[in-house]
Structures are given as structure tokens and as C-alpha cells.
Amino acid sequence: MSSNKRLSRWLMAVLTAVIALLMLAASGFAAGAQFQVLGYLGQTAIDANGPTYGLVVDKVGNLYGQSYGGGTTGGGTVYEFSPQPNGLWADTILWDFCTAPYCYDGVYPSANLIFDSAGNMYGTASYGGTGEYGVVFELTPGPGITWAQKVLYNFQNNGKDGVNPNDTLVLDSSGNLYGTCGTGGKYGYGIVFRLTPRKSGTWNEHILYSFKGNGDGNNPQGGVVLDAAGNVYGMTQNGGSSGFGNVFELENNGGKFTERVIHNFCASGSTICHDGAFPVSPLTIDAAGNLYGTSTIGGSSGLACDTRGCGTVFELSLQANSKWKLTVLHNFQPGYDGIYPSSGLTWDAAGNLYGETSSGGGDNFGTIFELTPGPSGKWKLNTLYYFTGTSDGSAPSGGLAFDSSGNLYGTSVGGAPWQYDPGATIFELTP
């Protein structure tokens, strides 16, 4: 690297640190919470930029994520954000999408990454591949900072397969990958799929369910979660008995999956959907098999945000009669509470839940919140941080990730004034 480039990068790192320190004076803290800007994406046209997703943390504290834009062709990136000896953080592009001919490696990555136990990463790209309808890929670490990408599956618009995958994958104990496509399938309303590795090194797709667009729901969003018995759970953004989305189960019967709807949102059809409506974020499952999630709107706040409320956090628990009961843990309200929850939920070791809202808070740019269980099944919401829309960015939505020390990491939109399309802020929060 030339001396001029080294100087430029050093000056950029120093400027990043100065902006982060200045931001602290104007930020929205809850008592005890410590928020810190680690740095920014989008500092150059070929840096990771554009919409970004949540982060994953490796064993030594490096952060990994995907950006929908940026890179040498603008097709998106996989990046690493890592602490440096001087105390600052730096991003490294691990994969630059659409550098293969005809974008066979994929283009426009579309969700959070996941790790396997060997340190390989898996993700999805919404477009590209041999069929131009998206891919599932694996990234394998090599010498130094090099990574090798392998496309595991190319989606095909053939009247059966899903198209344009846009949700985070999940890995089971046998090494199979599960995911969703919000469109495509036999009826055009999306699918749930499983990818199984073969001894030859190739992967085989099994379509577990094609949504019909009727009472079964349509447009699955947020990916899926698995329970200990291998049953699959997820949510659809639309459809269901009232058209406001649902929660579904794919019951595993010896490898054959049967779909049943375990909750229809806004089934009462009232003006206010007290249980929530139009869910788009992933579910979370606890050790007992209870499901937790967020709905973008709905709840008991009424006309203050939306004709059907400001959003909810809910729990679904299986009852003795084999039916599922939905309990609203929190109804979001205008003001410091935050409105329109925008991500899935993350557990800590003490059983508290953490998430984000895309709006609301002190300056209406979104919040980070904690939900703490209390007596008689009541949960208390604590707004840990509200975004100011300045150097800390705004509208967090990718979800939060814990490191081994209990710190939370995530991304918000914008931040630094030099960012491209529109860049992102990488932050750390210690509850």
C-alpha cells in the first residue's frame, strides 16, 4: 500500500473516531446502557454500502455482515469489521458479488449470515446465479484474509422452485440448511426449502411447502426456526384467515412435512389488530419450544401510529389441547417507547429479550429495547437507546448479536456525512 493510501486510511479512521465521540454528547441513553459507534460503511464508492443487515460475531469478536450495495460492481458485499491494535475498527471486503461472469456468484445479498461449527459462513443473494433468481452460498476461510465462495444452490423460475431468497438461513444438527423464498413455488406465493449436502459435494433442494395464498398464508418472511423434534416454524407477511399474515408450523413426520396454521393475525377483523399484523421479522424459539416474535403494526395503541397500532412483541406457547396461545408481551406506543419493531428478538443468558424499532424514540429515528420478564407473566420494556438520526444513524432493522462478554452489535442507516447510498453505522451497546 502506498504511503498516501496509508495516510488517507489513517485520517479516515481518526475522523471516524472523532465523529463517534462527538455523537455521544447528543445521543439517547438509558441509565446504565453504554452506546458506541465503532465505525461506518460506505466511505468509498466500492466499500460495503447501501442497505445492510444484521451482524454475526465470531469467537474472537470480529463482526461479519452483508451489504446490498457496494463493491466493485455495486452488486453487494460480504464484509468483516474487526478491532485494530490502535483501538479503532476497520472493515475488510471478504467477497465482492457479481465479479463472476453473468453474476453466477449471486448479486444483492439479502439477509444475515450464519456460521457453522467449522467457521464457514452461509447466506443468500436475492438475484444472480445460473437462473438469475438468486442463490444460497457458502464462504470458506482460506490463508490470511482470503475467503472462497461456493454457490450451493441456484434457484430456478420453473413453476416449482422459489425465487429471490431474502431471509436468513438456519442450520440443523445434520448440516442441512433451511430457508424461505417470499415468492415463487407451485402457486407463486413462496416456499420453505431445505438444502441437504451430498457426499459428492453438491447440495440437493427439497421443497418442504409451497404456499397457496389462501388460509395457509402467503409471502413467508423472516426465515424459519426449528424445534428439538425437527418441526419448522415461520411467519407469512400476508394471507391467513384475515389477510394480515400468520404463524405456521411444518410438522415433521418422519421427514414428511405437513403445514398447519397455529395463529392468524387480526383474526377478529376489528379495526385494531390487538395481536399484531403483517409480521416480517424472524421468530425466536426458547428451550421449552415457545415462540417469540414481533409484528410491524398492530397492538392496542390504536390510531396514534397506524389504523391498526404501533406494533407488538408476542409469545406463542403450546397448550395441553395441542392449540397454541398467543400472548402480547408488549404493545409499542408513540414517544420514547419506540414504534414499528423492525427486527427479530435476541436472548441474553438471563432470559431477557432485545430488539429494535425502526421509528419512535426521543427523536423518532428508532430505538434499541430490552424486555425483562417479571411476576405473573408481565414483561417490562426498557428503552436502552434511541437514535438521533445524526452520527449514530437511524432506522435500525437487522437485529442484534451478542458477543461472549454480553455486548450487543448492530447496524443503522446512514451516519457519517461522506457515506454512499446511504452507508451504514456499525454500533456496540452494553446493556
The residue count for the chain: 431
What value does the mean pLDDT of the chain take? 90
Q: Which long-range contacts (CB under 8 A, 24 or more apart) does 205-212 make?
A: 205/153, 205/161, 207/160, 207/161, 207/162, 208/178, 208/232, 208/250, 208/257, 209/250, 209/257, 209/259, 210/160, 210/185, 210/186, 211/185, 211/187, 211/236, 211/239, 212/187
pLDDT range class, residue 303, cuts 50, 70, 90: low
- The predicted-structure confidence for 312-358, as pLDDT tens digits, reads as follows 999 999 999 999 999 999 999 988 889 999 899 999 999 999 999 99
Region 349-378: mean pLDDT is: 94
DSSP designation for 133: B
- Separation of first and last alpha carbons in the chain: 39
| Torsion angles phi and psi, residue 180, rounded to 5 | -135, 155
* Residues 327 and 377: beta-carbon distance below 8 Å: yes
- The predicted-structure confidence for 193-225, as pLDDT tens digits, reads as follows 999 999 999 999 999 999 999 899 999 999 999
Q: What is the pTM of this model?
A: 0.91
Beta partners for 92? Answer: 80
- Percent of the chain scoring above 90 in pLDDT: 77
Residue 16 confidence (pLDDT) above 50: no
- The predicted-structure confidence for 398-429, as pLDDT tens digits, reads as follows 999 999 999 999 999 999 887 777 889 999 99
The rounded distance, in Å, linking the Cα atoms of 383 and 361 is 8
